[in-house]
Structure 1
C-alpha cells in the first residue's frame, strides 16, 4: 500500500491508498526520500477533494437483501468525503479503478442528472412505488452537497410525486431541507435517521473526520423532530472495546432530543475495509487493537468478517447477544421503537403538467 506518515492527511480517515482487490501490483513509499522532502518543505498538505461528473444511465438501485428494510435506494454521489475509517462502502471505489482508501474520500463522483432520471423513472406506467432510501451507500448530505444540491433536487421530485423517502445521514446539513421534509412528513411520506457512532468529539474527529460533530447530529434530531419529521437514531457501527460502552448514552441523548426510533449495527469489515480499519486502529489506538480484534473474532466465528445474511449486521456469540440485550433494555426504558408507522405509498401519483389545451376532465 502507498502509506504516508502520520500527520500528513489532516481531516482524512484512511491513512493510505491501499490497493484494491483488482490491482495486480503493489506500491511502497521511499522513507528516506519522504524524510528529505519533509525536511525541506515541512508537512505536506492534506489531499484535496476533487469531484468528477457522471451522466448516469439509471438512478434507482434495487436489492433483495433480507437484512435491510427497503428494496430501492438512490446514491447521487460515489465516494464520501466524511472519511469514516470503518465505512463498508469503501470497496465500491475499486470498481472505478480507484483505491478504497484515501481515494474513496477525496476523489468523488457526482451524478448531476440524478433528479431528471428519477422523474423519468417515476413517470413510467409500470413503476410500482415503494420507499426509496437515501444514504445507504454514501452520505446524501456529505460536504459537497452544499454546492451541488443533488439530494435536495431529488427530494423535490419525490415530493412532487408524493413518493415516500427514508434518509440516513451523519450530517446536520439535512436540516437545510426541513421545508420539504416537513411537508412530506405531514402526509406520512418521510422519515430520517441520524447516524450517531459516539458522543465523544475526539473519537468522532479521528474516526469520522469530516462528518458533523456528535453534538450537531443530536441537534439535527432536535430540529427535525420539532418540525414534525419522524426521526430516529442509528447507533452504528458499534465497535467492541472502542465505542460499544456508549450505546446506552447515545440512545439516551438522542431520545431526549426527540428521537422516537433506534437501531444499531455491529462493525463490518468487508474486503479492503478490513486492512484500512486495522491500519487506522494501529495509528490511533494501538493499545486496543488486539482486544478489539479478539472480540470481533468471537462475534464472527473466529474471522474478522461474516457476510452471511442474518448475521453480518448483528454477529453471533456472547458479546453479540449482550449488545442486543442492552439495546433492547435501553429502548424499553427510553420509550424508543414503541410505534413505527409505515411510510405511505397510496398517495403516489405523477404530477399533472399544465397543458395549453386545458383538460377535458
Structure 2
C-alpha cells in the first residue's frame, strides 16, 4: 500500500507555534483582532466604492478587487489557524490542506499581478491624463482582471500539483501554521530539485516580473511629476500614487526578504512570523492605508456611515 494513502486518511499536523503555548494564546487574540479589522475595513471599502458614483473609476475598480482578494486570502487561512491555536488539535484534513494550498497560492499570485496592474493604472492617470478614461475603459479593466486571475490560477495548478505528487513516505507533520508550498516540499522523501527549480522559475514570472513592471511605471511617474510646474499638481499626483506605493513596499518588501534571503539567515519561527505578517497583518493594513491617504475614499466612507446611521434610526422609529 502507498504510504501517501495514510496521509490521505489522516491528513496533516500543523505544528505552528505549538512549542510556545503561551505565545499561541497571545497570537490567537492578535490574529482575531486583525482578522476583524480586515473583514470590516475591506468590506467597507467595497461597499463605499460601489455606492458612491464618484468612485466608479478604474482606480477604485481595481481597489475593490484588491479588497475582495484580501477578504478571500485571509479567510482561506485564519479560521483553520484559530482552530489550531485555540485547542490541542493541530490537524487539518488532507482535502482541507490541498484546498488551502491551492487557494493560498492562487490568491497570493493574484495579489502580485494585481499590484502591477494597479501601477499601470496610476501610470496612465499621471502620464496620460487626457486619454486616461479612453485607455482604461471598462472592457480593458475587466480583461486585465480576467487575465490576472487566469494566469494566477494556472500558476497555482502547476506548482501545487507538482508538489502534491511528491512522495512523502507517510510524513504528515508540517512545521508551519498553514499548508504552504515550501513546508510541503520539505517533508518529501525524494529528490525535490526539479520541483524547486520550477517554483523558482515561476516565482520569477509571478513575483519579480510584476515588481519590475511596477518599478518601470513609477520611474515614468516620477519623471512626469518632476516635470510638473504646479506644486498642487505634484501633491495631487503623489497622493494619488502614495497609497498604492505604500502597499507595494510592504507586500513586496516582506516577500523578498522572506524568499530571497540566504537559507540559514533566519530561524524557523522568524519565517513563520514573516508569513504571518504578509498573510494576515498586511491585508488589514491595506484599508487603513487607502482611507487615511485618500480624501475621496474618506468622504465615501462617511456617506456610508451616515446611511447606516439613518437606516438604523428609521428602524428604531418604526419599531417605537
Shorter-chain-normalised TM-score: which range?
under 0.3
Between Structure 1 and Structure 2, the one with more strand by share is: 1
Between Structure 1 and Structure 2, the one with more helix by share is: 2
- TM-score normalized by structure 2? 0.28
